[in-house]
Amino acid sequence: MKRLVYGMSMKRKELGDYIDNHTWQVIVALAQLYPFPHGNRVHWRKEVWEKFSKVYILNKSDKLPNADFIYSNSWGRNTGEIGNALQYAKDKESDYTPQEHATVDEFWFIVQDYFLWLSDKLSQNSTVTLAEVKDELDRLGLTEVVD
């Protein structure tokens, strides 16, 4: 009898669900950064990374999922959740007032850009570092310190 052992691999459906389940948490962490320039930005930037910084190889193929698979199972499954995530962040945050010019449309594009970047990185390396995530958040205007 032969046994195949797949170390830290997942079936396509399981991996798609894993990605989807972690996406909401990332969107909420991004929502804590976007409308609250004077909130706890150090914490929420780290949360973006902690909530989804790794994908697993697909079993049977022994390959990482491609960027399209990661993107469609993360952002592709959650594009309609942007308004809910912003409202959730606003309801959750009682210590800070959201900036007035924060819009759902602008936030939508920030999240889309983040998941495009993340999908590409994870499809190449399986993980992203905290430093890489912080650099990307800086590029998107979600800096650690706001004037």
pLDDT in tens, 24-47: 999 999 999 998 887 889 999 999
Residue 129: its pLDDT value, please? Answer: 98
**Domain locations in the chain as residue ranges:** 9-139
CA distance 72 to 79: 10
Local structure of 129: helix, strand or coil: coil
* Radius of gyration over every alpha carbon of the chain, rounded to an integer in angstroms: 16
Residue 60: its pLDDT value, please? Answer: 76
- Residue 10's DSSP bridge partners are 58
Residue 99: its pLDDT value, please? Answer: 76
Residue 8: its pLDDT value, please? Answer: 56
Q: Please state, in angstroms and as integers, the Cα–Cα distance from residue 25 to each residue in 29, 31, 73, 145, following that order.
A: 6, 10, 14, 22
Q: Give me the average pLDDT of each 10-residue run along the chain (147 residues).
A: 48 93 95 87 95 90 92 94 88 75 89 98 97 97 85
**Quick one: 50 exposed, middle or buried, by C-beta within 10 A (0-12, 13-18, 19+)?**
middle
Q: What is the dihedral of CA 56, 140, 82, 22, to 10 degrees?
A: 20
Paired tokens of 4: 């195949």
